[in-house]
Amino acid sequence: MYLDKRIESYFYNTGHIIGKGSFGCVYKGIDQNTQKEVAIKIVKKAKSQEEAYSQKTFINEMTILKKLRSKNIVRLVDVCESQSNYYLVQELCKQGDLKRILKQKQLEEQEAIKILHDILSGYQILLKKEIVHRDIKPANILNCNGIFKLGDFGLATQLSQQMMLNSRVGTPLYMSPQVQLNSNYTNKCDIWSIGILFYECLYGKTPWFHEKSSKLLKNIYEQPLSFPSTPFVSNISKSFIKKCLEINESDRIDWIDIYNHNIFRQNPFKIQGCNPQQIITKIRNIIKTRELDINQLIQNITQQKILKISDLKVFLQSIDKQFKLEDAESVFDKLNNQNEDSISFECLLLWFYQNDIIQSKNQDDISAPLNLQEQSIVNNLLDCLINHIRFNSISIIQILKELNVYQNEAIQFRKFEQILLKINFQLSKTDLTLLFRKFYDEKSGFIKIQDILKVFYEESELDDTDDEFSASPVQIPIKGPGLKLQSFKNLERLS
């Protein structure tokens, strides 16, 4: 194969496209150092709004893949950049994708179940890291010597503490109704996609079809799920599909029940360690049944401003000896948004607070001064809000205009609540109460808008001359042609 292009130690042929990801072409290449074949996804650096979105999805995919290690997930080998492109180097899956297989032949039921098992094996690590794929479809399931792997994480996202999403992303044919409607949804959106995919593996077509997404959604709601008479498919597989394709998320099967379903009785899953939400539930139950003084345990670590995984392990084992290192790693990954080797104590405190492990001592008094523990929580909340404003290009001035609030005005709780919910609608009532107490002026009995602007105005990048919002595009520093990205921090702040 003639190789006409090079990036770092990787060579590839621009005429040899082996696929297209969410927002970039994928080429077959070779690593000159190891002589191993690789897949190289290339995304242009942003010069337009469309390219800026492609760049963002590339950065997102790179950041997500760095966190995932599984034989059933396409492995990230390297990331490089040149003057004009970014390069995502991954393992090469020579046998192509599931979409091509389904075009070539009709799968037997046991073949389809084996593929389903591989997909769900890879998805276990996504559950552990609290990541939602959001684009599961045959084209994104790759075959590597008979092992099927999840690929293309350009639309994947990490769940926030509030656990709800509302972005309409993915491929309509495999989107859950909630995603198509832009309503709130959880990681159960991927259960719907898996149900559609498994149905297609068995029958060679999807249960509902229309080229227009609006008509497709109408069909889903109006046409009951049905199964063709041929080929023959067992009732166990049909039962699995029915539970995956419940229209209402609350009725849809849970992940834990998926992994325990009878369809896998001959090849049961080896369930991995607890995910963060299971750990929270376990801690909550321990506090209740043993009447544990969690505040005293927290007090014992308040002297530590930063926590490593080993510190988290010691702390969790002070709650219950059965907690393991992998549980500490799971919590650490949940809270480690910056991919550092430690997290702040405030991160752990905020996580406990948002999950009702610890509570404010003055919840009923919105004017009470903050104690030290609450101040730590508020500082973390403010950091999250500032990042949310920056990454989503939110204009504080525009919000004030929409709510008819003047910059020299003083407001009470209700108006303060409206402003902050405009910034982030997922803030809880308790979050809002704590933030109100942070800004509360005891002398006047109100909050001054000027005090809010002092915290958020600069982050919204407003033009003082006309109060019109204008966001400066964030540029990634160019390191020069062919230089490897030694640090991902500049990229991750955009993801």
Judge whether residue 186 has pLDDT over 80.
yes
One domain for residues 87 and 119: no
**Beta carbons of 320 and 290 less than 8 angstroms apart:** no
One domain for residues 119 and 61: no
The region that residue 93 occupies, defined by phi over 0 for left and psi between -120 and 50 for alpha, beta otherwise, is beta
pLDDT band at 139 (very low <50, low <70, confident <90, very high): very high
**Beta carbons of 129 and 67 less than 8 angstroms apart:** yes
Lowest mean pLDDT among 260-264, 271-275, 332-336, 387-391: 271-275
Judge whether residue 205 has pLDDT over 90.
yes
One domain for residues 168 and 259: yes
Higher model confidence: residue 204 or residue 422? 204
Could you report the per-residue pLDDT of 359-389, keeping only the tens digit for each? 654 444 566 778 888 888 888 888 888 888 8
Higher model confidence: residue 463 or residue 301? 301
One domain for residues 240 and 122: yes
At 350, which CATH number? 1.10.238
Q: Is residue 102 a part of any domain in this protein?
A: yes
Range of the domain at 413: 364-474
Lowest mean pLDDT among 142-146, 241-245, 260-264, 366-370: 366-370
The residue among 308, 339, 359 that closes a domain is: 359
How confident is the model at residue 493, as a pLDDT?
37
Judge whether residue 1 has pLDDT over 90.
no
One domain for residues 131 and 186: yes
Q: Is residue 489 a part of any domain in this protein?
A: no
Could you report the per-residue pLDDT of 446-487, keeping only the tens digit for each? 888 888 888 886 554 443 333 333 333 333 333 333 334 333
One domain for residues 352 and 369: no
Q: Determine which one of 31, 97, 118, 135 is catalytic.
A: 135
How confident is the model at residue 342, as a pLDDT?
82
Lowest mean pLDDT among 153-167, 223-237, 366-380, 416-430: 153-167
At 128, which CATH number? 1.10.510.10
Q: Is residue 480 a part of any domain in this protein?
A: no
Lowest mean pLDDT among 87-101, 120-134, 407-421: 407-421
pLDDT band at 72 (very low <50, low <70, confident <90, very high): very high
Q: Is residue 154 a part of any domain in this protein?
A: yes
Number of domains in the chain: 4
Mean pLDDT of the chain: 81
The residue among 62, 92, 122 that closes a domain is: 92
Higher model confidence: residue 14 or residue 464? 14
Could you tell me where the DSSP H helices lie in 75-141?
98-104, 109-129
- For residue 79, what are the β-bridge partners? 88
One domain for residues 126 and 209: yes
One domain for residues 371 and 469: yes
pLDDT band at 195 (very low <50, low <70, confident <90, very high): very high
The residue among 341, 359, 377 that closes a domain is: 359
One domain for residues 130 and 214: yes
One domain for residues 124 and 218: yes
Q: Is residue 116 a part of any domain in this protein?
A: yes
Q: Is residue 186 a part of any domain in this protein?
A: yes
Judge whether residue 21 has pLDDT over 80.
no
Q: Is residue 492 a part of any domain in this protein?
A: no
One domain for residues 11 and 56: yes
Q: Which residue has the tokens 């890291």?
A: 129
Q: Is residue 17 a part of any domain in this protein?
A: yes
Higher model confidence: residue 332 or residue 3? 332
> Is residue 327 annotated as a catalytic residue, yes or no?
no
pLDDT above 70 coverage of the chain, percent:
83
Instruction: Confirm or deny that 218 is annotated as ligand binding.
Output: no
pLDDT above 90 coverage of the chain, percent:
28
**Inter-axis angle of helices 345-354 and 372-391, nearest 10:** 90
Mean pLDDT across the stretch 42-60?
74
Query: Residue 318: which residues within 8 A CB-CB, separation 6 or more?
Result: 297, 300
Measured distance CA(376)–CA(433) in Å, rounded: 14
One domain for residues 88 and 117: no
Could you report the per-residue pLDDT of 102-137, keeping only the tens digit for each? 999 989 999 999 999 999 999 998 988 888 999 999
pTM: 0.60
How confident is the model at residue 467, as a pLDDT?
35
**Beta carbons of 335 and 345 less than 8 angstroms apart:** no
How confident is the model at residue 458, as a pLDDT?
56
Judge whether residue 192 has pLDDT over 60.
yes
